[in-house]
Amino acid sequence: MQTPEDFVTIAQTLDRAAADTGVNFLGGYSALVSKGMTPADENLIRSIPQELAQTERVCSSVNIGSTKTGINMDAVKLMGEIVLETAKATKENDSLGCAKLVVFCNAPDDNPFMAGAFHGVTEADAVVNVGVNGPGVVKHALETVRGKNFEVLCETVKKTAFKVTRIGQLVAQEASERLGVPFGIVDLSLAPTPAVGDSPAVGDSVAGILEEMGLESVGAPGTTAALALLNDQVKKGGVMASSFVGGLSGAFIPVSEDQGMIDAVNRGALTLEKLEAMTCVCSVGLDMIAVPGSTPATTIAGIIADEAAIGMINQKTTAVRLIPVIGKDIGDTVEFGGLLGYAPIQPVNRFSCADFVNRGGRIPAPIHSFKN
């Protein structure tokens, strides 16, 4: 592959194959550049805006850091530019291309959730990894213990997570047997859906779970503690239900895909900074957040760097799926449709980090990464 255009040709072929076989989304248009970039890596990354503008089903992800290697700030700077270029390349569709682009730190090899899923280098030729959902089930269970102490609350979440993961395990085993492909992992991730008719009261909303715990609104004091509790109990319940729990397995907090999150943003309870604090204790990171299309590439890179630092230091997966919507500003709303939902345009900090981002090089791995 000599040029970015060569990679776009491959992406178009993959897109046609996905359409022919009935695949909704296809992951793996990815680069792992946590320590450095090969020429092929850089060409693939530079092709992403064209690829996302010219395909319908292909999703892209780039891993720019890890606890073991540190953060590749050259890649972070480049990804800030790529996110903005993707927004411009898909501006006719409200910059929808950015909804299919994820920037990771500590990306797992076996994550089955789009848009960040890819077939990791440690995986076999073929494997069945299953992602199971269930925020609505958890919220319904918590309604039966309203007002009870934290021990009862934790036990209820854990037991519910066990049941949901067990179902996922059985489905995965059946799929593995029918396909003749080895079973990999079950990923229990509480991922919300914004489908018509859903609400924090009746639908799959992570915000609804947190508010059922006793918060007036997501974003109120106590939100990070409530999310930490939820994430931990989901993991504890999940690992008892399957010997092979992997991927991300926890709670997702995408703004546009969760009606409760959207409502919290609209009422002024939930800001970008609070969402960043919440990512310290949840499964992924700043997800499906719409920001003004005028946001500079260096500011996007700075947000990516902040999120990567949280992942690197805390030895966890973090990610950024930020959507600078060209032509939109604070106070506007953008409609993505389907499972991607809709989102209010949120403000970003107006102060510049350009001189920091433009330094280049790598942020070294933290001292506790040295385990040998």
pLDDT tens figures, 252-305:
888 988 889 999 999 999 999 999 999 999 878 899 999 999 999 999 999 999
Give how far Cα 90 sits from Cα of 77, 104, 218, 256, Å.
21, 22, 31, 18
How high is the pLDDT of residue 135?
Answer: 82
- CA pair distance 265, 259, nearest whole angstrom: 10
- CA pair distance 36, 209, nearest whole angstrom: 40
Give exposure, 16-53, as e/b (b: 16+ Cβ within 10 Å).
eebeeeeeeebbebbbbbbbebeeebbbbbbbbbbbbb
Q: What are phi and psi of 170, to 5 degrees?
A: -65, -40
How high is the pLDDT of residue 195?
Answer: 61
Q: How many CB atoms are located within 10 Å of the residue 92 CB?
A: 10
- CA pair distance 197, 263, nearest whole angstrom: 15
What is the average pLDDT value for the chain, to the nearest integer?
Answer: 89
Scan for tokens 């947190």, then name that residue. Answer: 210
Which domains can be identified in the chain, with CATH numbers?
A: 4-120+127-356 (3.20.70.20)
- CA pair distance 191, 90, nearest whole angstrom: 25
How high is the pLDDT of residue 311?
Answer: 94
pLDDT, one tens digit for every residue, the chain (372 residues): 678 888 999 999 999 999 999 988 988 899 999 999 999 999 999 999 999 999 999 999 999 999 999 999 999 999 999 999 999 999 999 999 999 999 999 988 888 888 888 888 888 788 888 888 778 888 889 999 999 999 999 999 999 988 888 888 888 888 898 999 888 888 888 888 776 444 444 468 899 999 999 999 999 999 999 999 999 998 888 888 787 887 877 788 889 888 899 999 999 999 999 999 999 998 788 999 999 999 999 999 999 999 999 999 999 999 999 999 999 999 899 998 888 888 999 999 999 999 999 999 999 999 888 877
What 3-state class would DSSP assign to 165? helix
Which conformational region is residue 169 in: left (phi greater than 0), alpha (psi within -120 to 50 degrees), or beta? alpha
- CA pair distance 25, 27, nearest whole angstrom: 7
CA 345 to chain centre: 18
- DSSP-assigned letter for residue 94: T
C-beta of residue 119 within 8 angstroms of C-beta of residue 357: no
Give how far Cα 136 sits from Cα of 58, 200, 209, 212, 281, Å.
29, 9, 8, 11, 21
How high is the pLDDT of residue 128?
Answer: 85
